[in-house]
Structure 1
């Protein structure tokens, strides 16, 4: 029996997942993780690239629906290339992004329209339908190269009307919904000014599961006040709730944000590189082996970034994480323990979307957005 076969023999059977059919085929390769690029290649038969789109939406912790000021770490210009320039129509952004990717990579089989900045389900449903269908409908102009959508949002912004729309789109195309979970610890969410609790995340995923779209968790490591044990509790929750994919993101500080001011003043310090490497490996060892790992670190343009500077060295950071796995002789899922109640058996709860958010989403008309060109 090979080492890979022995690893598989110790793993529990898992239900099929919409993003990758529960496949453990990645374990036949040398990578210690179920990497996003390979998962997309297996699904679509070639290289797939995401193209960031800014539909101009805001967030409920910015406009006052649940809070004001936004997340303490967030300047969307630093997170999203599309928000570093004056906004253009969704169509123009997507076509321009596709052209940029084509110039960088010789062979690209398809593109995912990635609605990235702000909260991309926080608008009247018909407005959401308009922008999502516009992105998918561009296949008529670019020869069926758009293979699906990725939608970044908050767990308190998916009332039933939104989930029904996404389920409808997912019946026709690949769709991934990326929830900003960040952590399971409510004190940390308060520190971030997220203005939602982990109970909102549980409610969202328990209502999202089984609708045909991929469910991705965005998690931040290195939050001040969180111990290693607390971060591992978040890792275990990935399997308990049954996410299909995960993005890991080191906390970093950018200029013009409350967190940036705390770091510049010395009030808050960022996790150091070696500790981050070990924590990522510890985290990934505890999540299910079939979960797709879409990202293992985050960064910002150097003119925005304050700390940590090491996050700009993405290639060497990835190599260090792989080396740590090799040193330990482990891989993703090596310490995973399946929950007593399988995720697919969890009951579907009532929709607990806050009334102030539901009023914005379920009303007629259009939610004001940032000014776009040619609109």
Structure 2
């Protein structure tokens, strides 16, 4: 792998990696292996409860996306303890853990209750080094960003925005019930607050051409996210999309096409951006298609080999935007009022599973 400007190489480049891989980033930051522990605190979503829509995303079945929803929903403290024990059985040496609030929209509750559950996770175990919080771009009013900023003064905090695509037809097809403008507004308000801003992208949305996916890559680069997660579109049982795939109405991206698309995408992403995922999957008992996504190690190897075949690397074709992301002005909060009414209030929602039962 040949990289120009070798004297200014980043750490991952000096290590000979084709992209800025998350695992290596965490090892450099924390001095050893750091693993996520998935938590389900019982959140819902504004496109489920009617705040902006009903039905939820057409691909979403939280039983398949979260280990904690495959069993009786336990309280956060129990989930963390059980998750840490499970990881330690799998890996001989783990230096720390990230409490990962994964399924549903994990900023969609009164902000004082959010603080309660986040702080509980941070103090639950001495080896928890930070938080990862999955959310939607229309569910981060300024009060949530201020809370994340406060927590990030003492801990690693990553706020993960579900962008999926910049193209409205794809967002509409998924029933996301937000616009790309919400995403732009969210990142422009979240940037430079001391926590990581991660963006989640889905490749292979029906109707999206390769050119459209590359437009999304260019937009991610323009907006200046700290980290990115790439997922292949996949279908699971119990979802409207799963029914369409099973009925032959939707065709999943082929493996070779996905490998090339990931490499094309990452070539457009800044070399400083951390790549937290390059594929997604689901438990075999829930997965309908594509079956190839279950072989994650094989897929990772193919992506790395494609970088090598091209003599390429993350950021090879990156073009810096005319306006540096850090120079973009911080806009007025455009969180929908129906969502703000659920977050920027005092009080709490009884659904959240916080403390252990006594």
Give the TM-score category using the shorter length. over 0.9
The aligned residue for residue 97 of structure 2 is 111
Are 2:347 and 1:365 aligned?
Answer: yes
CA distance in 2, matches of 1:368, 1:62: 17
Checking the alignment, whether the CA contact within 8 Å between 2:2 and 2:311 is kept in structure 1 is: no
Corresponding residue SS for 1:219: strand
The aligned residue for residue 315 of structure 1 is 297
CA distance in 1, matches of 2:253, 2:69: 27
Corresponding residue SS for 2:230: strand
The aligned residue for residue 188 of structure 2 is 206
Corresponding residue SS for 1:234: helix
Q: Which runs of 5+ in 2 are unaligned?
A: none
Corresponding residue SS for 2:19: coil
Q: How far 1:158 sits from its partner (Å)? A: 0.6
> Where do 1:156-175 residues align within 5 Å?
156-175=138-157
Corresponding residue SS for 1:306: strand
CA distance in 2, matches of 1:302, 1:370: 28
CA distance in 1, matches of 2:352, 2:252: 32
Corresponding residue SS for 2:285: coil
TM-score (norm 1): 0.93
Checking the alignment, whether the CA contact within 8 Å between 2:259 and 2:299 is kept in structure 1 is: yes
Q: Which runs of 5+ in 1 are unaligned?
A: 12-22
Q: How far 1:8 sits from its partner (Å)? A: 4.7
Corresponding residue SS for 1:217: strand
Which moves more between the two structures, 356-365 or 282-291?
356-365
TM-score (norm 2): 0.97
The aligned residue for residue 172 of structure 2 is 190
Corresponding residue SS for 2:199: strand
> Where do 1:295-310 residues align within 5 Å?
295-310=277-292
CA distance in 2, matches of 1:256, 1:80: 14
The aligned residue for residue 233 of structure 1 is 215
> Where do 1:61-100 residues align within 5 Å?
61-100=47-86
CA distance in 2, matches of 1:7, 1:248: 27
Q: Deviations over 1:29-81 (max 9, x none)?
A: 23201000000000011110010011110000000000000000000111111
CA distance in 2, matches of 1:359, 1:367: 13
Closer, same or farther in 2 for the Cα pair 1:235/1:7, shift >3 Å? farther
The aligned residue for residue 29 of structure 1 is 15
Q: Deviations over 1:92-139 (max 9, x none)?
A: 100110010011100000001000010000000111011000011124
CA distance in 1, matches of 2:212, 2:82: 42
> Where do 1:131-142 residues align within 5 Å?
131-139=117-125
Q: How far 1:7 sits from its partner (Å)? A: 4.8
The aligned residue for residue 16 of structure 1 is none
The aligned residue for residue 44 of structure 1 is 30
